[in-house]
């Protein structure tokens, strides 16, 4: 080979080497640049609530200028969301109702204000930021359960922020009741009362059907002086009023006032509360105050929270984590119903049938969990009268707070979650309990 040919071969080899090196560098750089992710989050039943401190790029922005988008099928689209402001008193700033104070907010997303949307409305990670409005500031929000992730984009728009037309939950009223309506349930409390007596569920037809309950029965039973004094306190003794409300596309919030007072034993149950209604569940906090331990004045004290179902619920199946084989409501106690484990403590129960699916979870104060058993209350017997009630007898399913005399003096708050899962219980119980037990994690980053 001539020296000229050797030179050409050397040049060619060097060129090939440089090209290969360039390819390796490009591959390395490409490996470091993450591709936009596809949504892998499978949980959808959770509301996602974000405080301003966890959404720094948007903190302090005017609420009216905000929009929330997901990236779906290659394009941005607005999703339902709302921002609920909190006032200096710690309560939400209510926009409707007899004691509403819509002017108490400053219209800015800051402090303890809450931005909320539903996990099922998350989408893919976007490759760019071609939003349907001209952004001033924008944040990418990742929502994760540890194994899957979905994304939304919270944007401060220069003008005309796009809004979704979807409204998941609605506040309504008639002459006798205050209603909350969603595509899964209709709920109502009689005016002047703090317990509900209307509950309609989405049934096998796919539509919300008729009322299924006689009433919620939240009842206390106390004895004192060795049983000589007996006090029964039905929920009808709890008088209350709806002070104000917020009606947003993702949730309705009720500011309620209700009290049940026992001056003889110095117990107060109730007070002011903020009840949250989402499209798939609602939650009611309950306050309990006692200046002395009940065991200093009582010989026994129990409380029960049950739903008394109407005859239309016959044929539905009851389940709880202790009695997971289920029993059937029909107005008379069968051998299987009589054999239910009524003593082992647990926190939830559910019922399913063509009439719909329903589940209740009680979350007790940490101080009570070792000393106050939560037991099954189950009576399916139309001969077992339990007044006041509109339909005689009991188809009662629920939970009993036993040994309440062991409560130490103090002020407490516990919560009742009333859930309407998308599928039958017990199969859907894990997903609904995860809302409480395994909250979704949220991380946000500013988009340049």
Residue for token digits 């989408």?
123
Region 163-176: what's the mean pLDDT? 97
Q: Is the pLDDT of residue 33 over 50?
A: no
pLDDT in tens, 264-320: 566 677 778 999 999 999 999 988 888 888 888 888 889 999 999 999 999 999 999
Residue 237 pLDDT class (50, 70, 90 cuts): confident
C-alpha distances in Å from residue 332, one per residue of 323, 377, 380, 386: 18, 15, 5, 15
Average pLDDT, the chain: 90
Tokens at 403, concatenated:
């040994």
Provide the 10 A C-beta neighbour count for residue 235.
20
Q: What average pLDDT score do residues 394-409 get?
A: 93
Token pair for residue 266? 């110095």
pLDDT in tens, 41-51: 999 999 999 99
pLDDT at position 114 is 98
Per-residue pLDDT at 267: 67
For the cut 80, the answer to whether the pLDDT of residue 107 exceeds it is: yes
Check: CB of residue 270 under 8 Å from CB of residue 392. no
In this prediction, what percent of the chain has a pLDDT beyond 70?
Answer: 89
Say what the pLDDT of residue 235 is: 80
**Predicted confidence (pLDDT) per residue in 406-421, tens digit:** 899 889 999 999 999 9
Distance CA 186, CA 197 (A): 11
With CA atoms as reference, report the closest residue to 139 among 445, 362, 346.
445
**What tens digit of pLDDT does each residue of 209-227 get?**
999 999 999 888 888 867 6
Average confidence (pLDDT) over 437-444 = 98
| Domains annotated on the chain, with CATH | 47-166 (no CATH), 214-437 (2.70.98)
Roughly how many angstroms between the first and final C-alpha of the chain, as a whole number? 58
Q: What per-residue confidence (pLDDT) applies to 313?
A: 98
Query: In percent, how much of the chain has pLDDT > 90?
Result: 74
Phi, psi of 68 (to 5 degrees): -125, 125
The two three-digit tokens of residue 423, written as one number: 């599928």
Helix, strand, coil percentages (3-state) for the chain, rounded to 5, are 15, 45, 40
Let me know: does 397 contact 307? Beta carbons within 8 Å: yes
Query: Is the model more confident about 260 or about 327?
Result: 327
Average pLDDT, stretch 14-23? 41
């Amino acid at each position: 080979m001539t020296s000229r040919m050797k030179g050409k071969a050397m040049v060619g080899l060097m060129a090939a080497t440089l090209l290969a090196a360039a390819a390796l560098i490009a591959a390395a750089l490409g490996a470091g640049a993450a591709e936009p992710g596809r949504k892998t989050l499978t949980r959808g039943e959770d509301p996602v609530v974000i405080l301003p401190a966890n959404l720094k790029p948007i903190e302090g922005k005017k609420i009216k200028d905000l929009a929330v988008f997901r990236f779906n099928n290659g394009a941005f689209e607005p999703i339902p969301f709302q921002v609920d402001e909190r006032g200096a008193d710690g309560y939400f700033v209510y926009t409707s109702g007899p004691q509403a104070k819509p002017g108490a907010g400053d219209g800015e997303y800051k402090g303890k204000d809450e931005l909320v949307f539903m996990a099922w409305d998350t989408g893919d990670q976007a490759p760019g930021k071609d939003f349907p409005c001209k952004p001033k500031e924008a944040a990418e929000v990742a929502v994760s359960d540890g194994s899957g992730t979905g994304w939304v984009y919270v944007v401060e728009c220069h003008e005309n922020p796009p809004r979704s037309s979807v409204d998941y939950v609605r506040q309504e009223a008639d002459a006798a009741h205050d209603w909350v309506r969603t595509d899964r349930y209709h709920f109502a409390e009689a005016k002047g009362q703090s317990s509900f007596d209307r509950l309609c569920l989405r049934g096998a037809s796919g539509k919300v059907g008729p009322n299924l309950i006689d009433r919620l029965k939240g009842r206390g039973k106390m004895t004192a002086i060795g049983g000589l004094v007996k006090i029964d306190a039905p929920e009808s003794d709890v008088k209350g009023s709806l002070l104000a409300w917020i009606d947003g596309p993702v949730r309705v919030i009720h500011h309620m006032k209700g009290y049940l007072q026992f001056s003889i034993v110095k117990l107060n149950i109730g007070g002011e509360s903020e009840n949250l209604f989402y499209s798939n569940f609602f939650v009611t906090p309950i306050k309990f105050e006692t200046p002395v331990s009940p065991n200093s004045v009582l010989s026994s004290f129990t409380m029960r929270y049950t739903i008394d179902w109407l005859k239309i619920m016959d044929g539905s199946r009851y389940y709880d984590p202790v009695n997971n084989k289920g029993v059937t409501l029909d107005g008379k106690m069968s051998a299987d119903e009589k054999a239910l484990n009524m003593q082992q403590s647990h926190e939830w129960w559910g019922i399913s049938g063509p009439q719909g699916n329903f589940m209740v979870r009680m979350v007790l104060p940490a101080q009570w969990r070792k000393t106050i058993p939560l037991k099954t209350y189950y009576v399916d017997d139309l001969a077992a009268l339990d007044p006041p009630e509109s339909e005689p007898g009991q188809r009662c399913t629920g939970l009993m707070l036993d040994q309440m005399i062991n409560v130490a003096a103090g002020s407490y708050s516990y919560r009742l979650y009333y859930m309407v899962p998308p599928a039958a219980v017990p199969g859907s119980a894990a997903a609904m309990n995860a809302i409480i037990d395994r909250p979704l994690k949220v991380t946000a980053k500013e988009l340049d």
